Amino acid sequence: MCMMFWTTGCTERKPIADSLAVDSVIDTTLNVDTMEQLIEEQPMPVAADELFDDFIFNFAANHKLQIKRIKFPLQVDDCGEKRTIAKSDWKMEHFFMEQGFYTLIFDTERQMNAVKDTTINNVVVEKINLANEKVKDYVFKRINGAWMLVAIRKSELSQHPNSSFLSFYQKFATDASFQERSLNNPVIFTGQDPDDDFSTMTGEIAPETWPAFAPELPSGKIYNIIYGHGKTSGNQKIFLMRGISNGMEMQLTFKCVGGDWKLVKLSE
């Protein structure tokens, strides 16, 4: 396999666990019940309400906090059918904590900056069931400085502004032949230089060498977090995977070219 690389400066990656209020207890070898028990022993710092990411990890792992931060009776819109959930009927929602990583979908790199915006007061966590073509939105609002789950919305995937990309992604993640046909020629690759921890290598991946670089992608069900803006469609999607207990991060950039989605860049 032949590739040409050039070295560039890199930004320091911050381990995902650093954004947790109790980073010492996050370990993928622990089951969810154990994590919940350990996290509940320490109260969530007030500062965790500043950034939604700090809050959601605690919310997903702390049963007592989760109950406290839900506005009951919780309003549910199930494809147009309205109902409510009482506190006594609520079941603990761990979101992506059980899989050890989470995913994000952005339209642009600039949009990615919203993750660190402390002025945002509205966030939606999407549970996207690609296999069943269903979407479940958890709507959070910051009320009097505290993040609260205020509503749940259920809808069909076909109604999602990104339905075209999401349907494409499901096939891209599960069909190797389709994946290779959906590669831009070439795909730009950026990764850590194995000879220098402080630099990255950038090069090009030709379709015939793709199997050596192809990552294992989540399929069936994925999550997305929408920070402060509505669901949008566009000709570019940045699919980001981030580890919860480590500094793992992978970014795939797709562009719609001539009506077909293509992977144009892979960054690790």
pLDDT digits (tens, 9 = 90+) for 5-14: 333 333 333 3
User: Is the pLDDT score of 227 beyond 90?
Assistant: yes
**pLDDT tens profile 157-177:** 999 999 999 999 999 999 999
Task: Specify the number of domains making up the chain.
Answer: 1
Which pLDDT score, from 0 to 100, does residue 38 have?
59
What residue type is 190 in one-letter code? Answer: T
- At residue 17 the predicted structure's pLDDT band, cuts being 50, 70 and 90, is very low
State the pLDDT at residue 16. Answer: 33
**For the CA atoms of 219, 169, 230, 104, what is the dihedral angle to 10 degrees?**
50
* Average pLDDT value for residue range 233-255: 91
Lowest mean pLDDT among 36-45, 65-74, 197-206: 36-45
- Whether 4 shows a pLDDT value over 70: the answer reads no
What pLDDT is recorded for position 99? 85
> Pick the residue with more confidence: 10 or 249?
249
Give the count of alpha carbons within 13 A of 131, CB side only: 6
What tokens appear for 1 in the block?
A: 């396999």
**Segment 68-91 mean pLDDT:** 97
Among the residue ranges 29-38, 69-78, 107-116, 233-242, the one predicted with the least confidence is: 29-38
Give the per-residue pLDDT at 234: 87
Instruction: Write out the chain in H/E/C secondary structure.
Output: CCCCEEEEECCCCCCHHHHCCCHHHCCCCCCHHHHHHHHHCCCCCHHHHCCHHHHHHHHHHCHHHHHHCEEEEEEEEECCEEEEECHHHCCCCCHHHHHCEEEEEECCCHHHHHHHCCCCCEEEEEEEECCCCEEEEEEEEEECCEEEEEEEEEEEHHHCCCHHHHHHHHHHHHCHHHHHHCEEEEEEEEEEECCEEEEEEEEEECHHHHHHCCCCCCCCEEEEEEECCCCCCCCEEEEEEEECCCCCEEEEEEEEECCEEEEEEEEC
Instruction: Tell me the pLDDT of the chain averaged across its residues.
Output: 85
Total-model pTM? 0.83
- The whole-number pLDDT of residue 191 equals 83
Q: In the chain, what percentage of residues exceed pLDDT 70?
A: 83
Could you give the CA distance from residue 22 to residue 33 in angstroms, rounded to a whole number? 15
Range of the domain at 23: 5-267
Tokens of 62: 């702390």
Distance CA 24, CA 82 (A): 41
pLDDT at 205 over 90: yes
Backbone angles phi, psi at 207, to 5 degrees: -50, -40
